[in-house]
Amino acid sequence: MKRKIYKPSARSNISPFYVMNLLEKAKQMELEDKKVYHLELGEPQMKTPDLIKEEVQRLVKKGMPGYTPSNGIYPLRKKISDYYKFNYQVEISEDRIFITTGSSGAFLLSFLLNFDKGDRVAIFNPVYPAYRNILRSLNIEVVEIYPEINERTINLKSIEKYKELDGVIISNPNNPNGQVFNDIEIEYIYNFCKKNKIKLISDEIYHGITYDYQPKTCLNFGDEIIVINSFSKYFCMPGWRLGWVIVPKSLTKNLLKLSQNLFISSGNIAQFAAIKAFDCIKSFDSVVKNYKENRDKSSKILEKMSLLEYSMPSGAFYFYVNIEKLKIDSSDLVKKLLKDTGVALTPGVDFDTVNGNKTIRISFSSDQKSLLSGLKLFYKWYKANY
């Protein structure tokens, strides 16, 4: 028997990111001149501000140098430090801030930096699927914590049931359900992890996109924390692949070595251009107001579909909807809806491997006209089928 040379490694046998598969089908429909309403992706409404794009043109004409330092250019790290001081009243040394290739690069570096093979890391479902999949590809055991029966929101105190954890990951605001943890909850999880010597990673990529109140960063409660953020959501720079991670001082030397060897550096033009993002805060805040209006108008359409159940999101830009009463698998529903109406939604299996077949995620970050048109088509399809 001939031995296969190019056989995939066991660590590469992870779940796909289903929403990207769906996007591929949607793009194919558009190539066939079919109208598609993109309510599946978490992409900001506003395109990158002109101020940033103009800076890119200036930098290109100027002639950019090649590689940057592996931890990122100092002026951008200084801007991020100043942002935390102004926005959260917390002092963060620039040496603790590392610029990464998107938040995805920050996750990979943080997991490699903090955990070894066989370590146990807890996540709270529903959750951004990359946490689970990256951890498993690194042979790190994933401990999945679910909401209590009949509860749609995450209770951080449920962590008390789990022993001998090496790490915990939280996202605030949460993708996909838009839950925002208040300051009491954040302080609780921080102190719990510190007391039990558990490493805590806080994904704050949707910070700034909240509708009821702005939560504190975990850094407000102490330095023993890894905080991840990105320019992709609030800062309206998706696709620029630029994020950052803040780590305790004791981890900076090892993180630098990992960054040097795995990524060398993040894109130079993206880094220098992102400095201008901090001059566009008023524009970003106005976008968040648009999201709130989108949320409220979307809810008025969704509430007409009485078989759907959901909680009003307090942050991010998603509805996480329970479709159990429709008696259809979420993957089948989104495929059928896309084919019948051109409306693209995300199946919940991305975010919850146990209950995700009963849920869908609807993004309300797109322009309002397209969003409401898509939801009205969904409602029309719902009435025809239920």
Say how far apart CA 315 and CA 61 lie, in whole Å: 39
Query: Which of 257, 279, 301 corresponds to the end of one domain?
Result: 279
Q: How confident is the model at residue 25, as a pLDDT?
A: 82
Residue ending a domain, among 213, 244, 279, is: 279
Residue 242 inside a domain? The answer is: yes
Q: Do residues 295 and 364 lie in contact, with contact meaning Cβ atoms separated by under 8 Å?
A: yes
Q: Is 5's pLDDT higher than 60?
A: yes
Residue 15 banded pLDDT, cuts 50, 70, 90 = confident
Number of domains in the chain: 2
77 located within any domain: yes
CA torsion 146→152→158→161, rounded to 10°?
-40
pLDDT in tens, 148-188: 756 678 899 999 998 799 999 999 999 999 999 999 999 99
* Domain limits for position 300: 13-42+281-385
Please check the confidence at residue 34 and state whether its pLDDT lies above 70.
Answer: yes
- Residue-level pLDDT at 17: 77
Q: Are residues 80 and 204 in the same domain?
A: yes
| Window from 6-15, 239-248, 257-266 with minimum mean pLDDT | 6-15
CB-based burial label for 33 (10 Å; 0-12, 13-18, 19+)? exposed
Can you give the pTM of this predicted structure? 0.94
Domain membership flag for residue 125: yes
- Which residues, including other chains, have CB under 8 Å from residue 281's CB and lie 6 or more apart? none
117-146 tens-digit pLDDT = 999 999 999 999 999 999 999 999 999 999
Residues 141 and 224 in one domain: yes
- The pLDDT of 278-302, averaged and rounded, is 97
pLDDT at 142: 97
- Which three-class secondary structure state does DSSP give residue 203? strand
Q: What interhelical angle do 368-385 and 330-341 show, nearest 10?
A: 110
23 band by pLDDT with thresholds 50, 70 and 90: confident
Do 173 and 62 belong together in one domain?
yes
Classify residue 70: in a domain, yes or no. Answer: yes
Any idea which residue has 């940033």 for tokens? 52
Residue 360's H or E segment, with its range, is strand 359-363
